[in-house]
Amino acid sequence: MSQSGGQNLRLVLFGPPGAGKGTQAHLLRDKLNLAHISSGDLFRNNLNNKTPLGLKAAEYMNQGQLVPDEVTIDIVLDKVLSLNSAEGFILDGFPRNRNQAEVLEKALTQRSRNIDKVVHIDVSQEELVRRLGGRYICRDCQAPHNINAMDSTQKDPKCEQCGGELYQREDDRSEAVQRRIQVYNDETVPVLDFYRERDLLLDVSGLNTVVNVYQDVLSGLGI
Ligand SMILES: [Zn+2]
């Protein structure tokens, strides 16, 4: 790795839904001063602004399906290529299949850039079902909560930050969760092989605590 201290690294953060990618992405963003490019956030911004792209994407996301490639690629690449060459980034939620990985590689290569490392957070299927099924979001401030870890004697748990109402997102409900994991297994695992062939893969167990996973990532990156 040519950079000192890991700044301007170009990373892909990879793992199934519920592996804790968002949390790790924020920690790495702050530590390494990287731009955090979350495909989920990009889609939600489009959704909140009711853009045609956002409404189209939401139809798929609400059913636990992947958004069609061309929509996803356009929206993510636009963001990635808007950064200047000295700016590092961490991609979260993209690429999700081999085609997206190939298009990303081509676009970066054309600009004499490359991905430095692909961090793979590995979590078992049983653990994922448990984690995703317990995820509730605050309707007011959007803070994520884990129902499994909250006081179960409370009848209607409220947001710990603002007291707002908690709700389960459409794509965190159990049938949607199973579909998301299935889609992940079918379409996304081949991406791991793509990056393994290029010797870019860093495997980290996601079963540890947030802090331990984070430390494993940093030491794996040589930081
Ligand atoms: Zn709240």
- Which member of 31, 158, 169, 179 is catalytic? 169
- Which member of 10, 117, 131, 135 is catalytic? 135
CATH fold of the domain at 10-123+175-220: Rossmann fold (3.40.50)
- Which member of 10, 29, 79, 96 is catalytic? 96
Per-residue pLDDT of the chain (223 residues; tens, 9 = 90+): 444 467 789 999 998 877 888 899 999 999 999 999 998 888 788 888 888 878 887 888 788 887 788 888 888 998 899 899 889 999 998 998 999 999 999 999 999 999 999 999 998 888 888 888 888 999 999 998 988 878 767 678 899 999 999 999 887 888 888 888 888 888 888 999 999 999 999 999 998 889 999 999 999 999 9
User: Is 169 labeled as catalytic in the residue annotation?
Assistant: yes
CA distances from 38 to 80, 86, 90, 217 (A): 11, 19, 8, 18
Q: How far is the CA of 165 from the centre of ligand 1 (A)?
A: 7
Q: Does the predicted model carry a pTM greater than 0.85?
A: no
Would you say 120 and 202 are in contact if contact means Cβ atoms under 8 Å apart? Answer: yes
Structure-block tokens of residue 217: 């990532």
Query: To 5 degrees, how large is the angle CA 27–CA 177–CA 41?
Result: 40
135 beta partners: 146
